[in-house]
Chains A and B, each alone.
Chain A
Amino acid sequence: MMNTWIYARNLIVGLWIVFKRTFTKPVTVQYPEERPYLPPRWRGRIVLTRDPDGEERCVACYLCSVACPVDCIALQAADNPEAHDRRYPAFFRINFSRCIYCGMCEEACPTNAIQLIPDFEQSEYARRNLVYEKEDLLISGTGKYPDYNFYRVAGVRTHDKDKGEGEHELHPVDVRSLLP
Chain B
Amino acid sequence: MIDWSHTAFTIAVILGSCLTLAGMLIWVERRLLGVWQERYGPNRLGPGGCLQSLADMIKIFTKEDWIPPFADKAVFVITPAIVVITALMSFAVVPIAPSFVVADLNVGVMFFLAMSSLAAYSVIIGGWASNNKFAFLGSLRAIAQLLSYEVFMGISLMGAVLLAGSFNLSDIVEAQRHQWFVIPQFLGFLGFFMAGLAEAHRTPFDMPEAEAELVAGYHSEYSGMKFGMFFVGEYLSILLLSAMTVILFFGGWHGPWLPPMVWFAVKMFGFIALIILIRAAWPRFRFDQLLSFGWKVVMPLALVNLLVTGGVVLWRAG
Measured CB to CB, the residues of A under 8 A from B are 11, 14-15, 17-19, 21-22, 24-28, 30
A30/B40 contact (C-beta < 8 A), A21-B35, A22-B35 known: yes
Instruction: Apart from A18-B281, A21-B35, A22-B36, list 14 A-B contacts with CB within 8 A.
Output: A15-B277, A18-B36, A19-B36, A19-B277, A19-B281, A21-B36, A21-B38, A22-B35, A24-B38, A26-B34, A27-B38, A28-B38, A28-B39, A30-B40
**In the assembly, what is the distance between CA of A14 and CA of B40, in Å?**
21
Please report the C-alpha to C-alpha distance between residue A131 and residue B40 in the assembled complex, in whole angstroms: 36
The interface residues of chain A, by DSSP majority, are classed as helix
CA distance A132 to B35 in the complex (A): 42
| Cα A17 to Cα B277 with chains together (Å) | 11
Which residues from A are CB-within-8-Å of B282? 11, 14-15
- Expressed in whole angstroms, the Cα–Cα distance for A14 and B282 within the complex equals 7
Set A14, A26, A30: member contacting B281, Cβ < 8 A:
A14
- The CA-CA distance from A27 to B36 in the complex, in Å, is 11
* Bound Cα distance from A28 to B35, whole angstroms: 11
Bound CA–CA A18/B38 (angstroms): 10
- Give Cα A15 to B280, complex, Å: 8
With a CB–CB cut-off of 8 A, which chain B residues contact A27?
38-39
Q: How far is the CA of A14 from the CA of B34 in the complex (A)?
A: 17
Inter-chain contact total with CB atoms closer than 8 Å: 34
Q: Which of B270-318 contact A (CB under 8 A)?
A: 277-278, 280-282
Q: Which of B40, B277, B280 contacts A26 (CB 8 A)?
A: B40
Q: Are A15 and B40 in contact (CB under 8 A)?
A: no
Query: Closest CB of chain B to A31's CB: distance in Å?
Result: 11
- Separation of A27 and B40 alpha carbons in the complex (Å): 9
Are B40 and A28 in touch, CB under 8 angstroms? yes
**Looking at chain B, what size class is its interface with the partner chain?**
10 to 19
Please state if B38 and A26 are interface contacts (CB–CB under 8 Å).
Answer: yes
Chain B residues, CB < 8 A from A25 = 38
Chain B interface main SS type: helix
List residues of chain B with CB within 8 A of the CB of A26: 34-35, 38-40
B179 interface hit (Cβ, 8 Å): no
How many angstroms between the C-alpha atoms of A22 and B31 in the bound complex? Answer: 11
Q: Is B37 an interface residue (CB 8 A)?
A: yes
Q: Mark B21-57, 1 if CB is under 8 A from A, else 0.
A: 0000000000000111111100000000000000000
CB interface residues, B 86-120, toward A, < 8 Å = none
Q: How far is the CA of A171 from the CA of B69 in the complex (A)?
A: 80
- State in angstroms the CA–CA spacing of A22 and B273 once bound together: 12
A180, B226: Cα distance in complex, Å:
70
Report the bound CA distance from A12 to B147 in whole Å. 27
How far apart are B67's CB and chain A's nearest CB, in angstroms? 34
Q: How far is the CA of A25 from the CA of B278 in the complex (A)?
A: 20
Q: How far is the CA of A24 from the CA of B39 in the complex (A)?
A: 10
Shortest Cβ distance from B44 into A: residue: A30
> Contact: A21 with B37, CB < 8 Å?
yes
The 9 lowest CB-CB distance pairs between A and B, nearest first, are: A18-B281, A28-B39, A21-B36, A15-B281, A26-B39, A14-B281, A18-B36, A28-B40, A27-B38
Interchain residue pairs with CB less than 8 A apart (17): A14-B281, A14-B282, A15-B277, A15-B278, A15-B281, A17-B281, A18-B36, A18-B277, A18-B281, A19-B36, A19-B277, A21-B38, A22-B35, A26-B35, A26-B40, A27-B39, A28-B38
Please indicate the chain A residues that have their CB under 8 angstroms from the CB of B35 in the complex: 21-22, 26
**For the complex, what is the distance from the CA of A25 to the CA of B280, rounded to whole Å?**
17
> Chain B, 145-168, contact with A by CB distance < 8 Å: what is the 0/1 string?
000000000000000000000000
Q: Which residues of A contact B36 (CB under 8 A)?
A: 18-19, 21-22
Closest residue of B by beta carbon distance from A10: B282
User: A130 CA to B38 CA in the complex, in Å?
Assistant: 35
Give complex CA distance A32, B51 in Å: 20
